[in-house]
Amino acid sequence: MTATSTEPRTTTALTGRPLAEGIRRDARERAAALAAAGTPPRLVVVTATDDGSALWYVRSIAKAAAAVGIDCDVRDLGPSASRARIRDTLRDLNRDPRVHGIILQTPLPEGLSPAGLAVEIDPAKDVDGANPASLGRCAAGLPGFAPATAEAVVRLLDHHGVELAGRDVAMVGRSLVVGTPVALLLLERDATVTVCHSLTAELRDRTSTADIVVVATGVPHLIGADHLREGAVVVDVGTNATDDGLTGDVDADAVEGVAGALTPVPGGVGPVTTALLLSHTVRAADRATG
């Protein structure tokens, strides 16, 4: 289609809810089969924080787990838990055959490194891909769990039929839980990937030539119209609580009509991420019992 008409262009919403619903439905069926066989899938979320939004997120996971038939325990160690206490809790959970999935919720008490503790999670139970060994396995194409948010980005692009091979991707953000694993997963899918971050000299130059822009920075409305080429596909991983409610890292109003497609916030990457955590837990239980 060439742009000879004078109609304003519109931006397609890359919604995540139908995809999430499909993933949850599949998880629910497999969870029911496992429960019928006497092994209901079980997920444990370890928390060591009093951060309100983290605890809200954990409750939403527990509720979503219950809805698909996964037993979900929250093991709250409190905001002053020591490194040794968290480590020993993870080791106990590794050894417990009734536990199939383990999530170590961030933030942790000050001074504790999430990756430094996540190395303790058995990769077979590491349903949010937090252990650096899981990251390496995902780079190597070996079986293992990718961080759910990173996998959600790729699943969402696939679901909406966005071609990846040979396309230029700008990944804005380099965290271990999103930016880095998204880059590794998209490289495996034959995209050409540029990882940008807060020290990138001219962010606009990097993003405005890309076919696909994925943003995970935690900076509300960082990406505007002049960061994008016309028709770019934009995935917004940001979920920032502001006075105006939940908002993404992309200024959705500003990029309307410039971006060819954009994931909404909320309703884009988020629901797919939660659904994948449940799906991973069921898969871990399947393997453990199979």
Annotated binding site: 173-175, 239
Give the C-alpha separation, 210 to 227, whole Å. 10
Q: Closer to a second copy at the Cβ: 67 or 115?
A: 115
Closest distance to a second copy from the beta carbon of 68 (Å)? 29
Give the C-alpha separation, 274 to 156, whole Å. 13
Q: Which residues pair with 8 in a beta bridge?
A: none
Annotated binding site for NADP(+): 173-175, 239
Q: Closer to a second copy at the Cβ: 174 or 227?
A: 174
Closest distance to a second copy from the beta carbon of 132 (Å)? 3
DSSP state of 152: H
DSSP state of 259: S
Closest distance to a second copy from the beta carbon of 157 (Å)? 17
Cα angle 148, 53, 171 (rounded to 5 degrees) comes to 40
Binding residues vs a second copy (CB under 8 A) = 113, 115-116, 119, 131-137, 139-142, 165-168, 174, 176, 180, 183-184, 187, 190, 192-197, 199-201, 206
Element of type H or E holding 101:
strand 101-104
Q: Closer to a second copy at the Cβ: 39 or 194?
A: 194
Closest distance to a second copy from the beta carbon of 144 (Å)? 8
Closest distance to a second copy from the beta carbon of 1 (Å)? 21
CB 39 within 8 A of CB 77: no
Q: Closer to a second copy at the Cβ: 141 or 290?
A: 141
Q: Closer to a second copy at the Cβ: 54 or 187?
A: 187
Residue linked to tokens 């837990």? 281
DSSP state of 226: G
Instruction: Locate 13 and state its tokens.
Output: 């919403």
Give the C-alpha separation, 65 to 60, whole Å. 9
Pick the closest to residue 11 from 269, 239, 231, 235 (CA basis).
Answer: 231
Closest distance to a second copy from the beta carbon of 188 (Å)? 9
Closest distance to a second copy from the beta carbon of 201 (Å)? 5
Report the C-alpha dihedral over residues 138, 141, 144, 147, rounded to 10 degrees: 30
* Residues 6+ positions from 149 with CB-CB distance below 8 Å: 177, 178, 216, 237, 269, 273
